[in-house]
Chain A
Amino acid sequence: MSDKTIHALYTDDDVLLGAVKQVREKHYHIEEVFTPFPVHGLEKAMGIADTRLAINAFLYGIIGLTVATVMMNYIMIQDWPQNIGGKPSFSYLENMPAFVPIMFELTVFFAAHLMVITFYLRSRLWPFKSAENPDVRTTDDHFLMEIDATGKDIEEMTKFLHDTGAVEIKIIDKDAH
């Protein structure tokens, strides 16, 4: 028996949201949903876990702050503590106000850039990556729900999906890809 997936296409985000809820109630497994724009509440309806990107960003910020502190402590205090315009370079704390702008900027720099790179890695986005779009219309005005149909009654599923408001239903043979 070959693996099968069903592509159900919708033209309205509200209908899509309703359909996602019904499909989950039926205990069909949604593999993926493709939308042209962010649909509010979709990840909640699909039951996707919250992102941990913010936690990452916080940790990256701490790393940035550490880098700034260690760098300036080494350069300005340890390595060559010159008297520059009478600034007290005896200890890091004494000269800290002068370092704060850099500490702040590096914290933000690390938090922002490393978080973005994390996002790219986690969502597998890079230049020259071939698009994984099952239907070009999903970038314009159609919403596509991909449901695992392996071992299910295709006939019944198609009818059910049609009732949820799908405008087009396609059965895809996974082996064909």
Chain B
Amino acid sequence: MYKVSSKLKIFAFVLIGLGGALLTIGGFLSAPASEDAVREMLANDAAHGDDHGAAADTHQVASHDDVHGDVHASDGHGDAHASDHESEHIEHLYHQLSNKPWSALYVACFFFFMIALGCTAFYAIQKVAQAGWSPGLFRVMEGISSYLFIGGILMFVLLLATGLGANHIFTWMNPGIAEVGHENYDALVAGKTGFLNVPFWLIRAGAFLVGWNLYRWNIRKFSLKQDEEPDGNVWYKKGFKHSAMFLVFFIVTESIMSWDWIMSFDPHWFSTLFGWYVFASMFVSGITVIALVTIYLKSRGHLEFINDSHIHDLAKFMFGISIFWTYLWFSQFMLIWYSNIPEEVTYFITRIEDYNILFFGMVAINFLFPLLILMNSDFKRVNWFVVTAGIFILLGHYLDIYVMVMPATVGESWFIGMPEIGSFMLFAGIFLLVIFNTISKAPLLAKGDPFIGESKHFHY
């Protein structure tokens, strides 16, 4: 039996405490309380000659000239429109800045949740494919997927708070957005309210979370029961059927979840392969975390039946799915770039203009690093190579989610500072506590699994 070391516990608690503090102090407490606060902030920044202030100023001047200057300035209404426009700009900036800590929280919350979900999907696939190499890793996978429960609750609470109006990160939830004549009226979103309305959105989220957790709860139970009564493989067969059904349920719900939780940040935009794209992201992150936790546990001497061939297989999956992710990223990007239809291409224009380094850097990290580090068959057996590649993959996919969410909520006001790092640490701490706690609850060898013997002698 594995026991969570006190060092790991302390580390996780420090992450939670420090992360929570950073998020609260650097995020929620320093977000501007009102539009006046933003006005004051801008004035201060300009007085100090700060970069940001200067940028905001030029932005203001430029947009003033572009939009109203030519048309109205000659009519003598220039001044009135300028102050109108300035307050509009301030309102815009105020919304972005008050969205910042919430978006940071959302991105980190979703990132760790999707790791658990990706890992659960991987686990189900291993069961259904009757893989001979992976049963030795089942307890590690069960441990990681156990975050699905706590992470699901956190995710749902966050969605619920958002749906009840605690923040404004989803623009389609603006009051009056579907009322003709209202100042927030948006005909495009109004046409989608049949799908994008808060009650239905929350019900869907709840149903998906219950479905996923039901599977995860059952399969863990079956796995433990199979250890106790391995004769006849009754529990194994049950697990097989449940996994097959889960995979069908998963691919449908995961797709809808990606529309609901990520794509609806940009309610004017849509992409058909978005569900696959988010899936690839979660799948590769899940596999990477399996590899990292396995290497950690093995280095502590708890997985003596895992050899470097298992690590090699996990690294192959990391390599392959990273390239699959890149394929989907590129397919989505290139199709939209090539046809350049205005209603689709704005999605990438905002990302290329405001998030240039992050947007392309994220692709480089997620593609080039795994490609070059993990291509060599010998490197895939070397732990520190796999760990290095794994850290880059996780970082890259955090940035991937970040670039999916942030442009719609904070726009050009993004920065990876205290709230972002803080919320990442907060959820990382919870994640580590939950998964290692579950791993310590059962023997690390699923000895009742009919393929466990093959897995122990697996050699590639």
Which residues of chain A from 53 to 83 have any CB-CB distance to chain B below 8 Å in the complex? Answer: 54, 58
Give bound CA distance, A100 to B330, whole Å.
9
CA–CA, A54 and B379, complex, Å: 14
Q: Is A97 an interface residue (CB 8 A)?
A: yes
B377 at the interface (CB under 8 A from A): yes
Q: Check if A97 sits within 8 Å of B377, measured CB to CB.
A: no
Chain B residues within an 8 Å CB radius of A97: 330, 333-334, 337-338
Q: Distance (Å) between the CB of B351 and the closest chain A CB?
A: 14
Apart from A97-B337, A100-B330, A100-B334, what 9 extra A-B contacts exist at CB < 8 Å? A54-B377, A58-B375, A86-B340, A97-B330, A97-B333, A97-B334, A97-B338, A98-B334, A98-B338
One digit per residue, 1 when the CB lies within 8 angstroms of any chain B CB and 0 when it does not, for chain A 92-107 equals 0000011010000000
12 pairs across A/B with beta carbons < 8 Å? A54-B377, A58-B375, A86-B340, A97-B330, A97-B333, A97-B334, A97-B337, A97-B338, A98-B334, A98-B338, A100-B330, A100-B334
B380 shortest CB reach to chain A, Å: 13
Instruction: Return the 9 tightest CB-CB contacts between A and B, nearest first.
Output: A97-B334, A97-B337, A98-B338, A100-B330, A97-B338, A100-B334, A97-B333, A58-B375, A86-B340
Interface residues of B (CB under 8 A from A): 330, 333-334, 337-338, 340, 375, 377
Q: Chain B interface mostly helix, strand, loop or mixed?
A: helix
Shortest B183–chain A CB gap in Å is: 37
Chain B: CB-nearest residue to A58:
B375
Taking the closest CB of chain B, its distance from the CB of A40, in whole angstroms, is 10
Interface of A, secondary structure class, is: helix
Q: Which residues of A contact B340 (CB under 8 A)?
A: 86
**Residue numbers in A under 8 Å from B330 (CB-CB):** 97, 100
Report Cα–Cα, A86/B340, bound state, in Å: 10
A100 to chain B, nearest CB (A): 7
CB nearest neighbor in A for B337: A97
User: Which residues of A lie under 8 Å from residue B377 when comparing CB positions?
Assistant: 54
Can you name the residue of chain B whose Cβ is closest to the Cβ of A101?
A: B334
Mark A32-69 against chain B: 1 for CB-CB distance below 8 A, else 0.
00000000000000000000001000100000000000
Write out the residue numbers on chain A whose beta carbons fall within 8 Å of the beta carbon of B333. 97
Cβ–Cβ < 8 Å partners of B334 in chain A: 97-98, 100
Q: Which B residue sits closest to A55, measured CB to CB?
A: B376
Complex CA distance for A58 and B337, rounded to whole angstroms: 30
The complex places the Cα of A54 from the Cα of B378 at a distance, in Å, of 12
Q: How far is the CA of A153 from the CA of B103 in the complex (A)?
A: 83
Measured in the bound complex, the distance between the Cα atoms of B334 and A97 in whole Å is 6
Considering only CB atoms, which chain A residue lies closest to B327 in the complex? A104
Q: Which residues of B contact A58 (CB under 8 A)?
A: 375
Chain A, residue nearest B339 (CB): A85
Q: Taking the nearest CB of chain B, how far is it from the CB of A139, in angstroms? A: 29
How far apart are the CA atoms of A98 and B336 in the complex, in Å? 11
Minimal beta-carbon separation of A118 from chain B (angstroms): 18
Query: Which residues does chain B contribute within 8 Å of A86, judged by CB atoms?
Result: 340
B337 to chain A: which residues have CB within 8 Å?
97
User: Nearest Cβ in chain A — how far from B460, in angstroms?
Assistant: 12
- What separation, in Å, do the CA atoms of A54 and B376 have in the docked complex? 9
In the bound complex, how far is the Cα of B377 from the Cα of A97, in angstroms?
30
- B363 → chain A closest CB, angstroms: 12
Cα–Cα, bound, A54→B334 (Å): 30
Interface core residue of A58, A86, A97, A100 (most chain B CB under 10 Å): A97
Instruction: Output the least CB separation between B42 and chain A (Å).
Output: 35
Closest to A97 in B: B334
Complex-state Cα separation, A171 to B330, whole angstroms: 63
Expressed in whole angstroms, the Cα–Cα distance for A100 and B340 within the complex equals: 17
How far apart sit A97 and B337, CA to CA, in the bound complex (Å)?
A: 8
Q: Within the complex, what minimum Cβ distance (angstroms) separates A101 from chain B?
A: 8
B420 to chain A, nearest CB (A): 29
Q: Given the complex of chains A and B, what is the CA–CA distance between A2 and B181 in angstroms?
A: 106
CB distance from A94 to the nearest CB of B (A): 11
The answer for the CA separation of A58 and B338 in the assembled complex, in Å, is: 30
A58–B333 Cα distance when bound, in Å, is: 27
In the complex, what's the smallest C-beta–C-beta distance from B332 to chain A, in angstroms?
Answer: 11
Give the CA-CA distance A9 to B330 in the complex, in Å. 56
Task: Give Cα A58 to B340, complex, Å.
Answer: 35
Chain A proximity of B74: nearest CB distance (Å): 33
Measured CB to CB, the closest approach of chain A to B195, in angstroms, equals: 31
Separation of A58 and B334 alpha carbons in the complex (Å): 26
